[in-house]
Chain A
Amino acid sequence: DQQVKQNSPSLSVQEGRISILNCDYTNSMFDYFLWYKKYPAEGPTFLISISSIKDKNEDGRFTVFLNKSAKHLSLHIVPSQPGDSAVYFCAASAVGFTDKLIFGTGTRLQVFP
């Protein structure tokens, strides 16, 4: 049973436009959410996080939105750049940002010129 779902395996966006990556979860005990970015042959790199006491967190070009009632979060990248091309993983935890994380299956983002 997949507790964290990323239903879009891939997304293609033009440089300069907005990229929106979506993530849904089923476990209402999850209170901590993170996005990781992964390049080929490298480990995941932390991007941005949010806890359930907030509905939005922003860091430069990256914004994460959380809708707890819908059990849905999204990552917005504005403007998208070719260097953003990577696989993005959504992850969730019931205990804390450093605790056992449940990952989604990832969305491959391609940003083209």
Chain B
Amino acid sequence: GAGVSQSPRYKVAKRGQDVALRCDPISGHVSLFWYQQALGQGPEFLTYFQNEAQLDKSGLPSDRFFAERPEGSVSTLKIQRTQQEDSAVYLCASSLDTGNSPLHFGNGTRLTVT
């Protein structure tokens, strides 16, 4: 497709379960970002990749959060031992990284931890 694709759209997990969220960026986009959006808030930065290199992971809230992009295309955000406070929409965004190209967001994965 032409846009950023995220799956699943919705995920319900019991507290303590592990989850994996997938992001397919726009073909050819070098930069890939993950954001977390809590209810009623703006998106908050989690981590950033340039190709397969994770250049910034300063926004990951704990060591239960892990992201990878092994071949510089598809990315996976993994959350281990989910907690209720992890409930949020997880947004993936990609860009050409030309400096002037804005981020293109996917529709997100809504995670609910019960």
Point out residues on A near B: beta carbons under 8 Å: 4, 34, 36, 41-46, 49, 89, 91, 96-98, 100-106
Contacts and interface: CB of A to CB of B under 8 A. Distances in A.
A43 B108 CA distance: 6
B31 to A, nearest CB: 6
Interface of B: 4, 31, 33, 40-45, 48, 56, 59, 91, 93, 95-108
Given A41-B107, A98-B31, A98-B95, A105 B41 contact: yes
A43 B101 contact: no
Contacts of A4: 42
13 contacts: A4-B42, A43-B107, A46-B102, A46-B103, A97-B99, A98-B31, A98-B99, A98-B101, A100-B59, A103-B43, A103-B44, A104-B42, A105-B42
B102 A97 contact: yes
Contacts, number: 56
Given A43-B91, A97-B99, A102 B45 contact: yes
Contacts of B40: 105
Nearest to A49: B102
A29 B89 CA distance: 28
Given A43-B4, A89-B42, A106-B42, A100 B33 contact: yes
A89 B35 CA distance: 14
A90 to B, nearest CB: 8
Interface centre among B31, B40, B59, B103 (most CB of A within 10 A): B103
A103 B42 CA distance: 5
Given A43-B105, A97-B99, 18 more contacts: A34-B102, A42-B107, A43-B4, A43-B108, A44-B43, A45-B105, A46-B102, A46-B104, A96-B99, A98-B31, A98-B95, A98-B98, A100-B45, A100-B56, A100-B59, A103-B42, A103-B43, A106-B42
